[in-house]
Amino acid sequence: MGYDWDFWVVFREFGLLMHGLINTLKVTGLSLTFGVPLGLCLALLRLYGNWPIRVPVGIIIEFFRATPPIAQLFWFFFALPILIGVEIDPFKASVLTFSLQSSAFFAEVFRGGIVSIDKGQWEAAKAIGMNRNKSLKRIILPQAVKRMIPAFLERAIELMKTTTLVGTISYADLLYEANTIAQSTYRSLEVFTVAAGIYFVIIFVCSIGVRQLERRMARTGETTAH
């Protein structure tokens, strides 16, 4: 175990790691931007669509939830361009994959939130003459979204972890850059440990924030046991 640790090489290349981190955040952020609204649409279609809409939407959601993200990413990067005859670069393929993938999970979060709202709220809205759309928009969704915030944030954290896959199609995220540095410096122990440390700090801080929020919401009785 007489290994000579040398973190200096890692700090010399720290700029590259930060560049990778920014790319990680870019993919995560963009996928969230598309994934959340798309997830809401999917949830509403699955809940309230006629069966010719409801069934395919359900299948799409379940498919994205029950297949490995790496298989999805490879499909969108290697297979889809051939199928449609349009070139898709690693960045676009990543954002496309993770927007769709996360939207399937967000759809289930939305759905869980909507169905957790007491039936009496629908009835009260109906009793003052609201139609379904108005009830959803004014009464049900505001309550559901508030309840689901911790679940959303947990999903966002999961998404950030999953984006480490983009390195496999050569998009230069944090893990990809770490691998590059490791190969050129032969200091893989230090480089991968530092990279893991960076992920840990970001994700751990976010998780603690979510846990605090959950605790506060549980105290005020605003969250469901979901």
Partner 1 sequence: MTTVLSIQNIHKIFGDLEVLKGIDVNVEKSETIVILGASGSGKSTLLRCINFMEVPTSGRIVLSGKTIGKETAGKVIYNEAELNALRTRVGMVFQHFNLFPHMTVRENVMEGPRTVLKCDKDECGRRASKYLDKVGLGWKSEAYPSQLSGGQQQRVAIARALAMEPDIMLFDEATSALDPELVGEVLETIKELADEGMTMLIVTHELGFAYTVADRVLFLSEGRILEQGTPAEVLVYPKQDGTKNFLKGHGSFRLPEPKLD
Partner 2 sequence: MDYLWDFQSILNNKQLLLIGLQNTLILAVVCLVLGLAFGAIVGIARYSRNPILYWPSTAFVEVFRNTPVLVQIMWFFFAFPIISPFEINAFTAAALGLTLNTIAFSAEIYRAGIQSIHKGQWEAGKALGMSYTQQMSRVILPQSIRRMIPAFMNRAIELMKMTSLASVIAYGELMYQAKVVSTIEFNPIEMYTTVALIFFAIIFPFTLLVQRYEDKQREKG
Task: Name the site residues for partner 2 (rule: CB under 8 A).
Answer: 1, 3, 62-63, 65-72, 74-75, 78-79, 82-84, 160-162, 164-165, 168, 175, 179, 182, 188-189, 191-193, 195-196, 199-200, 203-204, 207
Nearer to partner 2, 39 or 69 (CB): 69
Pick one of partner 1, partner 2, none as the site partner of residue 69 (Cβ within 5 to 8 A by kind): partner 2
> Residue 138 Cβ, how far from partner 1 at the closest point, in Å?
6
Tell me the site size for partner 1, rule CB under 8 A. Answer: 20
The CA-atom distances, in angstroms, between 70 and each of 77, 160, 165 are: 10, 14, 7
Q: Find tokens 């920014």 and name the residue.
A: 22
Nearest residue to 100 via CA among 80, 72, 121: 72
Binding residue (CB under 8 A) for partner 1 from 19, 126, 149, 189 = 126
Buried b or exposed e, range 117-150, using 16+ CB within 10 angstroms: beeeebeebeeeebeeeebbeebbbebbeebbbb
Nearer to partner 2, 72 or 135 (CB): 72
> Using an 8 Å Cβ cutoff, are 114 and 144 in contact?
yes
CA distance 106 to 37: 9
Q: Pattern 193-222, binding to partner 1, x per CB under 8 A?
A: ---------------------------xx-
